Amino acid sequence: MSTLLHIEVSPWAENSLSRSVSAEYVTSWSTVHADGTVITRDLDQTPVPHLDVEAISAGFMPETDRSEPMAAKWGARMYLIEEISGVDEVLISTPMWNWSVPSVLKAYIDNVIIPGVFDESTATLAGKKVTFVVAQGGSYGEGTPKAGWDYASGYLRQFATAMGATDIEVITVEFGLAGVVPALEGFISHKEASIAAAKEFAASRAAA
């Protein structure tokens, strides 16, 4: 029986492009894996805390020396690590904000990466299919005025690669602000085409 960890980030609920594309993935995946399990972690509804000195220090001292708050924060981090380590596939959908990922997603990644527990040496994501859906307000591809400004996709791919994954895909949805921002009014058709292509690709990847 296969298990998919689905991590959502966007606060826009039914208006979220990243959520709409990831929904296509989950629907297709669930059809193929009728007896499978989808674990959903919504970082907008239940964000993980940003690391503080107690959470970080807990990893550098014996368990018996940890204070009660340290032990609780260490336990919370280990829960996240055990969750992502125990699944077959990982799907993370997120908007791109200010050229990078939202802080709630960065906080999640910071929490799971622990030297010697979940890092480059452990290759914990080896053998897992990892898919990212990244929704962008504009377009940052080669040849566009803002080419190279997308620091979200590369960061997410680096995270998965460093943790040992080799089956990695970043599905990008472009021009999310077309029809919202006047300057992008002429790109509504591009937005619609990008959404359709992303959903089609997500469904086919999930079924592969």
Averaged in consecutive runs of 10 residues, what is the pLDDT profile of the chain (208 residues)?
A: 97 96 98 98 98 96 96 98 98 98 98 96 97 98 95 98 98 97 96 98 97
pLDDT of 204 reads 98
Regarding pTM above 0.85, the answer is yes
Distances (CA, A) of 188 to 150, 194, 195: 20, 10, 11
Residue pair 23/195 in contact (Cβ under 8 Å)? The answer is no
pLDDT of residue 108: 98
**3-207 CATH fold:** Rossmann fold (3.40.50)
pLDDT of residue 30: 98
pLDDT at residue number 177: 97
